[in-house]
Amino acid sequence: MATPEEQITPADAAIVTTGTGRKGPEEHDLPESLKYDMDLCLEILRNVLGEYNPELLSTFDTVRHYAVEASAEHFAELKDPNPDQDGLKEAVNVIDNMTLHDAQLLAGAFATYFHLANLSEENYRVSVLHERENNVPVDQAVDPINELTVAYHQLINETGPAKAKELLNQLEFHPVFTAHPTEARRKAVEGKIRRVSELLEEYKRLGGSDQKECLRRLYNEIDALFRTSPIALKKPTPVEEADTILDIFDNTLFNTIPKVYRRFDDWVLGDKAGLVEPACPAFFHPGSWIGSDRDGNPNVTAKVSRAVARKFSDHVIAALEQATRTVGRNLTMEAETTPPSAELKNLWSHQKEMSERLTDKAALISTKEMHRAVMLVMADRLHYTIERDADLMYH
């Protein structure tokens, strides 16, 4: 008879079934925070499935149980409590005896389950990285969590500061994005997964009625995630496929990449970061196959490539316009308390020469606030760049 330590616990079963398990014995017992998130998600999903169709919930539990049995055979450190039962065969038999409609519902239930397990693991991984970073003194020579600082510190030791800086300025990273159908997910699904992830983080920090409200929202999102088709009703065009990359840009790249630059500057420049010229170059240069794979997709014509390029350009400029306008609205320092520099006055003069209409509008909104006015003119010029106004756009 297996000992309690060797038995497959519910937590072990969850991680084995979701595919997040590993063969190392230290990973058989989930970390408490990860187990908490996964147990909460599973409880909500089971309630959702039970409300939708009790028979679906029963089948989900049965197949999940058999999957745990089958997975246990591949983990040397775990002892199967039912060694005579062929879990994989039993699971296959259950699915084979289902109608196509019921099998599709079961697939949707497990797809939702795997989404929830994956985002729980991602949340845990991020929390571990933050915890590790918090344990690193800010005055330490390198940040072990930030490989860029480790590599740069090694360069300085091997080549000297001047050569290391020269090599750093040559750093380039060119990720190329695609919309491969096996990797693509609907924006509707992505949005729900993202909101569930955020709500899980909130839930652990809240209490009382606020936590109850958060739980209701979790139920709503997980219920909607299960009921939402993972596949769009029609095949997206190459221009529509561009939305996949734009979603990544909006929710990850536009905010994360500047943080990477600033973190590097914080470690290299210390207290001078933000007061002197940045040390980290803008090395991130993304690209995309979408709308440009002329050989692999006969539907991608020169017209399509141009439309996708325009879509990418306009979207990125619009994000930059919004960020510029936000900065401008916050620069409300009056000229008396924060006198504009000679460089700022010179820039304002150039802006007035270019368009008195834009500068008059900015000056009206920002009386005696030149810092704000200059930024608002920049934001307006970015707007007219999207509009392709030859007189006002950036060239």
State both tokens at 131.
């915890």
Mean pLDDT for each consecutive 10-residue tract of the chain (395 residues)?
Answer: 38 41 47 90 96 94 85 57 67 87 93 94 89 76 75 89 91 84 68 93 91 95 92 78 87 92 87 90 90 72 90 96 95 93 95 93 92 96 94 89
Most distant CA pair in the chain, distance: 87
Neighbours of 298 (CB within 10 A): 7
Q: What are 177's strand-pairing partners?
A: 288
Domain ranges of the chain: 32-143, 319-394
Block residue for tokens 């002197």 = 276
State both tokens at 334.
């009056």
Cβ atoms of residues 346 and 355 within 8 Å: no
Helix axes 54-72, 32-52, angle to 10 degrees: 140
Handedness of CA 297, 300, 305, 309 (dihedral sign): negative
Give the model's pLDDT for residue 79: 55
Burial of 201 (C-beta count, 10 Å sphere; 0-12/13-18/19+): middle
- Residues 6 or more apart in contact with residue 149 via CB below 8 angstroms: 142, 143, 264, 267, 268
Give the model's pLDDT for residue 388: 93
Give the model's pLDDT for residue 4: 37
Measured CA to CA, the distance from residue 149 to residue 275 in angstroms comes to 20
Per the annotation, the verdict on 130 as an active-site residue is no
Measured CA to CA, the distance from residue 331 to residue 323 in angstroms comes to 13
Give the model's pLDDT for residue 75: 59
Measured CA to CA, the distance from residue 217 to residue 234 in angstroms comes to 29
pTM: 0.76
Q: What are 288's strand-pairing partners?
A: 177
What's the half-sphere exposure (Cβ side, CA atoms, 13 Å) at 141?
A: 8
Catalytic residue, from 74, 130, 180, 350: name it: 180
Tell me the three state secondary structure of residue 176: strand
